[in-house]
Structure 1
């Protein structure tokens, strides 16, 4: 995929990114209310090596002190020190509470040791860190002093007592910003993944790729226009492009139902009739014929009547609007399923071709029977309709392959959208 494809995906799925950002911010605010802020206070010890026969030179003493720092860090986490701190504080704090709140971290390449206490109360955090530092100094002195009374081999001194923390760690603002950033990044990844895996027809580009044809127009998938005055301009543009193909008989097809195929066929016929052209609109959807009901025409006489008696062809045509006649199909006809294979259909199309400027045929879905292929073979070209956010790319690809399998001529494709997005939106 190209960068432009990813940008298109992000534009289409921007709401996912926003949603994840809002959810992350909401979680951060909720956690701030549920989990009280925690404060940290740090006291610092300086570890020195004492004089004695084991320590001869200053450099060796420094190395010795650094080794001692790591040992004192372990002592700071010991149960014994925790008990001493709890006794010094003289409050309900237990040794277990102290142990869970105190940490000791040697400062790298130095003889300094940081004693940090974390608590929900800033004053209590300072008190615990200072008490731990003081008790560790005493414990070190006791351990480093030999029973023979020799000077301690090493010692620790408090060089900086803990100060009153000014802010919690992390601050609510920092937690909010981090959560918001993480939510936006996660939303970005989800949006891209969703767009890559989403196989729906979303815009003219995806329809053009699936159908391997150019998208002639993006049209509203609303109601059928009742006259030229209410016809959307998009259909006039589609009409111009259809005329440029030279096709006189046009089969309007789709992969599945509910793609807006009947609306496109009727409105295209209305647009072709402008300029004093004669057009006949044929309801070839033997599975679910709808033109009679949608155009408020009588269900009979219909196509099945003509197939039984070809002499009734001209009397079976009903005038819809000036310039457009309609050959409907009666939904109640019992033999509709076998009509697609009738030999008389080709003769009907031939007679209509000779008497009209254009013929527009509304067919059944390509993947739901053979009738659409029958009309595609009889037409000069096929117009494929795909529905935005409802059509599936795999289904459109299968329909195109089926049409090409009978050597049908694909004039182009039309994208139907739920609402009008403007004349130039998404042109391909």
Structure 2
């Protein structure tokens, strides 16, 4: 079946296409609407090391950037999330909370870390973001000790408070585009299958095109 024949089949079997496509759209829309709204708030941390000389300051920048490589997985670990759960007396487990946290270095290769936390309400998202910053700073303060070079000490500070929470509604609305595409593909596939089945039962309907 070539493209022109398929278009003809679509015109003849438009009801099949409409039923399948509309059914997929309705199902996809129902699933999107049923998804709970999630809010995300972010905060920014700065990793720095105090140095007594200019040369040490350059070295400290390198050390701070390297420290970030270990801080990022630590931020998303259950070690820090358990401290947040205890502080806020949350009903979530440390494991559940850790799954809602993401951390990433602010490009390009800076000493800044963006920490994002998602929750079911805007208030919870903002509170969790600030709590994560406070608990991580407290935790790293207890971990870090002087390196022995010019009384250096790794420090983490919160350079921006929790941002206004943003919802995932725009992302969910964007899912309507792939849903519509899937509906069109499945509707066309249904027409193709029905057409092939009909041709198999009635081969006399198949008229090969010949040159005129």
Give the distance between the partners of 2:191 and 2:107, measured in 1 at CA.
43
Which aligned pairs between 1:160-239 and structure 2 lie closer than 5 A? Answer: 160-169=160-169, 171-188=171-188, 190-191=189-190, 193-194=192-193, 197-200=196-199, 206-209=205-208
Which runs of 5 or more structure 2 residues have no equivalent in the other structure? none
The aligned residue for residue 282 of structure 1 is none
Q: Distance in 2 between matches of 1:9 and 1:33?
A: 34
Query: CA separation in 1, counterparts of 2:62 and 2:8?
Result: 62
- Would you say the 8 A contact 2:40–2:166 is kept in 1? no
Q: Residue 155 of structure 1: SS of its match in structure 2?
A: strand
Pairing 1:69-80 to 2, within 5 Å after superposition: 69-80=68-79
- Residue of structure 2 equivalent to 1:92: 91
Distance 1:144 1:79 in 2: 19
- Residue in 2 that maps onto 1:3: 3
Kindly state the Cα deviation for residue 12 of structure 1 after the two structures are TM-superposed.
Answer: 3.5
Matched-pair contact (CA < 8 Å) for 2:50–2:57: no
Larger Cα Rg: Structure 1 or Structure 2? 1
Q: Where is the helix percentage greater, Structure 1 or Structure 2? A: 2
**CA gap 1:6/1:73 in 2 versus in 1, 3 angstroms:** same
Q: Is the 8 A contact 2:6 2:192 kept in 1?
A: no
The alignment's TM-score, normalised by the length of structure 1, stands at 0.41
> In structure 2, do the counterparts of structure 1 residues 32 and 7 end up closer, same or farther at CA, with 3 Å as the change threshold?
closer
Q: CA deviation at 1:33?
A: 4.7
Change (3 A) 1:35 1:52: same
Quote the Cα distance in structure 2 between the aligned partners of 1:139 and 1:159.
17
Which structure 1 residue ranges, 5 or more long, are not aligned?
Answer: 213-428
CA drift at 1:128 = 0.9
What are the superposed Cα offsets for residues 337-391 of structure 1, whole Å, 9 maximum, x if unpaired? Answer: xxxxxxxxxxxxxxxxxxxxxxxxxxxxxxxxxxxxxxxxxxxxxxxxxxxxxxx
The alpha carbon displacement at 1:32 in A equals: 4.0
- Which residue number in structure 2 is paired with residue 24 of structure 1? 24
- Contact kept? 2:17, 2:191, Cα under 8 Å: no
Between the aligned partners of 1:29 and 1:130, the Cα distance in structure 2 is: 35
In structure 2, distance between residues paired with 1:103 and 1:139: 18
Q: Output the CA distance in 2 between the equivalents of 1:103 and 1:200.
A: 55
Q: Distance in 2 between matches of 1:107 and 1:17?
A: 48
| Aligned 8 A contact 1:13 1:191 in 2 | no
User: Counterparts in 2 of 1:52-71, with a 5 A limit?
Assistant: 56=56, 58=58, 60-71=59-70
Specify the alignment match of 2:124 in structure 1.
124
Indicate if the aligned counterparts of 2:49 and 2:152 stay in contact, CA closer than 8 A: no
**Separation in 2, partners of 1:68, 1:16:** 60
Structure 1 CA distance for aligned equivalents of residues 127 and 22 of structure 2:
39
Corresponding position of 1:307:
none
- Total equivalences in the alignment: 207
Higher RCO by CA contacts (8 Å cutoff, separation 6 or greater): 2
Q: Deviations over 1:304-344 (max 9, x none)?
A: xxxxxxxxxxxxxxxxxxxxxxxxxxxxxxxxxxxxxxxxx
Give the match for residue 155 of structure 1: 155
Aligned equivalents of 1:202 and 1:165: distance in 2? Answer: 60
- Give the equivalent residue in structure 2 for 1:37: 37
Shift in CA distance, 142/20, structure 1 to aligned 2, threshold 3 Å: farther
Partner of 1:332: none
Alignment of 1:231-380 (within 5 A): none
SS at match of 1:179: helix
Deviation at 1:172, TM superposition (A): 4.6
Matched, 1:102 2:126: no
